Structure 1
Amino acid sequence: MRAADGGPKLRKWYGAPDLPPKDEIEETRNAVLVTDGESEIGQSLVGVLNDKTFLTKTLRGVRAIICASDDGFFSDVARTKGVNHIVLLSQLRYYKGSGGFQAIMNSKARELADRDEKAVITAGVPYTLIRTGLLQSVPSGDHAFSFSKGDAAKGNLSKEDAAVFCVEALESPPEEGLIFQVANGEEKVTDWKVKFAALIEGTGVLQ
């Protein structure tokens, strides 16, 4: 055991400095929580969060949350306390655009996605809501995109590209909220900061 890992007596014996107060540790923590980390997108970005005690501890000091799946994570808005940026991937537009048997199959996912979107928008925390086309486990190819209205309802987006959007969104948090649609297309993004600045200002963004 190292002195730094032991209690106060052991630390004093080895001449190690005192640990900062617990509250100070939590205030200075600069962490990003990725929900559903065992999923394909979660693994591309970096837990299973069903244990409420574990979740409460995990969220202490977290500055940002990336929610990469439609799982109803934000049904409890209290979970966002202390968070200053939320990035949410949502396939709600795709679910709403599906019909017939596919619509029946997607009904539960649609309900959870709708709940998450509403919770994030009303949480009072700056958010980036990325409405994607159908997320697919395919190679990202040319990393080219389309941001036109209706893309999320009829288009597709590779999960690898979706992970890229989540990471880049962290570097460009909006003052209040940003909502845009995206699917794989023909536009290549060469400067992510410029692209997100344009999206935030409303240039070419259609919800």
Structure 2
Amino acid sequence: MDQILDYIEGGPKLRKWYGAPDILSKDGIESAENEAPEEDEVKDAVLVTDGDNEIGQMIILSLIVKRIRVKALVKDKRVAMEAFGTYVESMAGDTKDKAFLKKALRGVRAVICPNEGFLYNLESWKGIQHVILLSQLSVYRGSTGIQAVMNSNARKLAEQDENLVKASGVPYSIIRTGVLKDTPGGQQGFCFKEGSAAKGSLSKEDASFICVEALDNVPVKGLVFEVINGEEKVSDWKKCFATLMDMSSGEA
């Protein structure tokens, strides 16, 4: 599992599994193809807004295994190409640039945000069918003393992103986690009780897994829920999300 999650080693393995070429172009960047008119484009991709983030990389690998078309925003396109091969459409650029954002969102049906700060730059939500936001707002709100000062900017970004996605008119899933930890995923149960995120913790692997599971469980309007590792075992995530939707009104 460690080798799969290590994005440096993950690329070559995934290329072998799926039969992709091992050799990159001279500059490590694919040549741009003629893009189809936007109105004719099939929207089947999932955009991960931070492909450099550890959880973002876990999400990307899970999406690849599910054979889902993946687009990812990264700092270094060549590094991403070496890591994930041709299974990820890696894009490097300024997210404040409207033209870059428009290009990044072409063909995208869903957006997964593994951290806060991206949605502020998004002016058009056209064509997006689902936004999944991994939020640590409960943790930031529950912090005190020097920790509260250190988290003040992150808290503002998290509050901003949650408010923006709620006002977007696009179906959304806001996953409020406890403190994210580097512990193995899939070994503990969960707790979805209100107020639990401010006190508990969640494995980063479990957080990425829940983001991917949320993809196919699109709420009519919006879903906001808290989750930490706990005692509850989940064998049917479709049923779990249905229960969470019944309990949530889509409001914080």
Shorter chain as normaliser: what TM range?
Answer: 0.7 to 0.9
Deviation string 1:52-102 (CA, Å, 9 cap, x unpaired) is 2332201012100000102x2111342422101000010001100010011
Aligned twin of 1:23: 38
- Alpha-carbon RMSD across the aligned residues, in angstroms, is 2.1
Partner secondary structure for residue 180 of structure 1: strand
Report what 2:244 is aligned to.
199
Aligned partners of 2:225, 2:103: CA distance in 1, in Å?
32
2:181 maps to a residue whose letter is Q
TM-score computed with the length of structure 1 as normaliser = 0.83
1:145 to 190, 198, 203: 190
| CA distance, structure 1, for counterparts of residue 234 and residue 102 of structure 2 | 37
Equivalent residue for 2:216?
171
Match of 1:13 in 2: none
Q: Distance in 2 between matches of 1:30 and 1:160?
A: 25
Which one has a bigger Cα radius of gyration? Answer: 1
Partner in structure 1 of residue 200 of structure 2: 155
Say which is worse superposed, 77-86 or 169-178, in terms of deviation. Answer: 77-86
Instruction: Look up the match of 1:33.
Output: 47
2:110 is aligned with 1:64: yes
Aligned residues: 186
Residues 186, 206 of structure 2: 8 Å contact kept: no
| Residue number in structure 2 paired with 1:128 | 173
> For each residue in 1:12-42, what CA deviation from the matched residue of structure 2 results, as whole angstroms up to 9, or x when unmatched?
xxxxxxx99523552x130000111111111
Change (3 A) 1:67 1:20: closer
Instruction: Pick from 147, 162, 178 the counterpart of residue 117 of structure 1.
Output: 162
* Alpha-carbon displacement from aligned partner over 1:93-136 (angstroms, at most 9, x marks no partner): 11000100110111111110010000011111000011110111
Q: Which one-letter code corresponds to 1:36 in the other structure?
A: D
Find the counterpart in structure 2 of residue 8 from structure 1. none
Runs of 5+ consecutive residues of structure 2 not aligned to the other structure: 1-33, 61-72, 75-91
Counterpart position of 1:12: none
Deviation at 1:188, TM superposition (A): 1.1
Instruction: Tell me the amino acid that sits aligned with residue 240 of structure 2.
Output: K
Identity of aligned residues (%): 53
Task: Find out whether 1:94 has 2:139 as its counterpart.
Answer: yes
Moved over 6 A (4+): none
Does the CA-based 8 Å contact 2:101-2:122 persist in structure 1? no
Amino acid at match of 2:163: K
Task: Name the SS of the counterpart of 1:38 in structure 2.
Answer: coil
Q: Which residue is equivalent to 1:9?
A: none
> CA shift at 1:154, angstroms?
0.8
Contact 2:38/2:106 (<8 A) preserved = no
Structure 1 residues 21 and 114, CA gap change in structure 2 (3 angstroms): closer
TM-score by length of 2: 0.69
CA 1:59–1:20 in structure 2 vs 1: closer, same or farther (change >3 Å)? closer
Structure 1 window deviating more from structure 2 (76-85 vs 166-175): it is: 76-85
What stretches of structure 1 of length at least 5 have no aligned partner? 1-18
Distance in 2, Cα, partners of 1:29 & 1:117? 24
Q: Cα 1:69–1:24, aligned 2, differ >3 Å: closer, same or farther?
A: same
The one-letter code of the counterpart of 1:187 is E
Q: For 2:36 and 2:93, how far apart are their aligned partners in 1?
A: 29
Distance in 1, matches of 2:139 and 2:186, equals: 21
Q: Tell me: CA distance 1:161–1:34, structure 2 relative to 1, closer, same or farther (3 Å).
A: same
Amino acid at match of 1:44: M
1:185 aligned residue: 230
